């Protein structure tokens, strides 16, 4: 009898402890992982920019485009062979926020919906997540251009 009540007490204490610790450490750990993986992807991007500027005399802007294209290509390949999902599960926002997240968001539904056909499966699903991103990105940039035009008048 005494044994079971002390056990209950212990379980309650344990639950309290878990509640107190879990959310905080989850955020801390998630941030740390996102930080180092995301940071590393950006360093890789910087290496690509520097390389293209050195070898092909690209400008900074051209280099940034080259880095984006390369990172997108590498992400598509890694998503295809199933490696990207593993990294993504570990890094969370670390792979979502860089342009790799945009590329992965296009590749993975396009692959997944292959059975629905090449046109309405792969072709349409490429834009499941990229569609909204482009809608808001392009719309807001057009708005910025229009505002800038009328401010210049």
Partner 1 sequence: MILMYLKAFLVGGALCALGEIIILKTKLTPARILVCYITAGVVLSALGLYTPLVRFAGAGATVPLTGFGHTLAQGAIHAVQETGILGAFTGGLTAAAGGIAAAVFFGFLAALCFKPKPKQ
| Contacting partner 1 within 8-27 (CB under 8 A) | 26-27
Residue 1, burial from CB neighbour count under 10 angstroms (0-12, 13-18, 19+) = exposed
- Which residue from 114, 116, 117, 120 is in contact with partner 1, where contact means CB under 8 A? 114
| Nearer to partner 1 (CB atom), residue 17 or residue 138 | 138
Radius of gyration of the chain (CA): 23
Of 84, 83, 79, which is closest to residue 94 (Cα–Cα)? 84
- Which residue from 8, 12, 112, 120 is in contact with partner 1, where contact means CB under 8 A? 112
| Cα angle: 139, vertex 112, 65; to 5 degrees | 45
- Which residue from 11, 20, 120, 147 is in contact with partner 1, where contact means CB under 8 A? 147
| Contacting partner 1 within 34-93 (CB under 8 A) | 34-50, 60, 64-69, 71-73, 75-77, 79-82, 91-93
């Amino acid at each position: 009898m005494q044994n079971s009540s002390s056990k209950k007490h212990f379980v309650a204490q344990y639950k309290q402890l878990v509640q107190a610790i879990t959310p905080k450490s989850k955020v801390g750990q998630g941030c740390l992982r996102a930080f180092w993986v995301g940071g590393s992807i950006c360093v890789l991007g910087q290496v690509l920019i520097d390389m293209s500027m050195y070898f092909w005399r690209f400008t900074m802007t051209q280099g940034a485009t080259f880095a984006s294209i390369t990172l997108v290509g590498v992400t598509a390949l890694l998503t295809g062979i199933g490696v990207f999902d593993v990294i993504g599960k570990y890094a969370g926002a670390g792979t979502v926020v860089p342009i790799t997240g945009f590329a992965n968001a296009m590749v993975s539904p396009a692959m997944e919906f292959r059975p629905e056909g090449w046109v309405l499966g792969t072709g349409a699903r490429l834009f499941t997540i990229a569609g909204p991103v482009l809608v808001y990105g392009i719309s807001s940039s057009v708005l910025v251009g229009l505002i800038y035009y009328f401010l210049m008048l």
